[in-house]
Structure 1
Amino acid sequence: MFLFEFAVVVVGVLVAQGLANWVQARSEREEAGRLLDDLTVQVSEFRRDLNYWDRVGPCLRAHVSEIKRTAAGAGTMSAAQIGRPALPQPSRLNFSGDEWQKVRRLVPQEKSTSFTTLAGTIETYQAFISDTAQQWAKLRLLDGNDGTPSPADRSQVRLAATIIDNNIRWMMFQQRAGSAQTLATVGMAGDKRLPDSARFVDRCGLLTDWR
Structure 2
Amino acid sequence: MNKLEREFAWTGQSHWGLQRAALPPLAPELMGALLDNITARVAVVGRDHCFIYANREALAFFGRPAEQVFGQHLSTVMGEASYAGYLPWAERLFSGESLRWQGWVEYPTRGRRFLQETMVPFAPDGKEVQAIVVFGRDHTDLKLREEEPPSRWASCRPARRSRQPSSTMRWRRSSPPTARAASSSSTLRPRRCLAGTAPTSWAVRSAR
Please, what TM-score do these two structures have when normalized by structure 1?
0.19
Please, what TM-score do these two structures have when normalized by structure 2?
0.19
Q: Which has the higher contact order (CA 8 A, sep 6+)?
A: 1
> More strand per residue: 1 or 2?
2
